Amino acid sequence: MKFKLLVLVSLFSLDLKPQTMPDDFVVLSDIDPSITIHIRYATNDNFLGRPVTGYKDKNKTVCTRKAALALKAAHNELKQHGYRLVVYDAYRPQRAADEFMDWRKNSNDQCMKQQYYPTIDKVDVLKKGYVADRSGHSRGSAFDLTIIELSKELTPIMYSKRTLTNGEKVPFLDDNTVDMGSSFDLFHSVSHHETSLIELTFLERRNFLRAIMKKHGFKGYSGEWWHYILKDEPYTEKYFDFVV
């Protein structure tokens, strides 16, 4: 019995050993310092309304080297059109995804409902695909991103209402990036890339970004116009949990 207990303690200790960043991960700004990095989950400006477990620095993020080089190539082309990339999220520790799962079960916490999920029950965000218990971000080659004009800088978020083509009003969180018809992380069908709820101008902007990202090896996610993942990602089944 004593031997079995020691074995269990040993295995448990191994599970608790902190992960370190793999050798083929890089700090994104080391590869392309001209990309604007503003990690929303390291701030209060996200659907939890607080910094998320596993995020420490809003101006730093990591990803696989392969994804960083592909993103740099896409960024170089975007700059030729007068735009700069803004990255809201890249690698996401698994513990952050776990916190999202805990958050959706807490019906008492509705502090950011008006800004991020005004029309749905938070318990349904997993079923509707807005969060995942196992996110591609945790594999290190996914990005949440948008673009900003080269002559502009990010500003503190300004809250307003946006009227959709069906007459519905939804929150719009303006940080001075290019207007894509809906703001980042809005849990609503207007965030779907091909939605009919936005004017043609906004759809053209989404398509412009998607075309360049696709050209440089990324694929989008139909449910979120801001989400891209490297098609030929180095890790397809492994999910990491080291802290940035």
Catalytic residue IDs: 224
| Residues 101-128: b if buried by 16+ CB within 10 A, e if exposed | eebbeeeeeeebbebbbeebebeebeee
DSSP-derived pairing of the beta strands 36-37 and 83-89: parallel
For residue 25, CA distances in Å to 11, 16, 127, 195, 242 come to 27, 22, 31, 34, 11
For residue 198, CA distances in Å to 24, 119, 178, 211 come to 40, 17, 14, 19
| Residues 50-87: b if buried by 16+ CB within 10 A, e if exposed | ebbbbbeebebbbbbbbbbbbbbebbeebeeeebbbbb
The percent helix, strand, coil of the chain (3-state, each to 5) is: 35, 20, 50
Instruction: Provide the token pair at 114.
Output: 């008006």
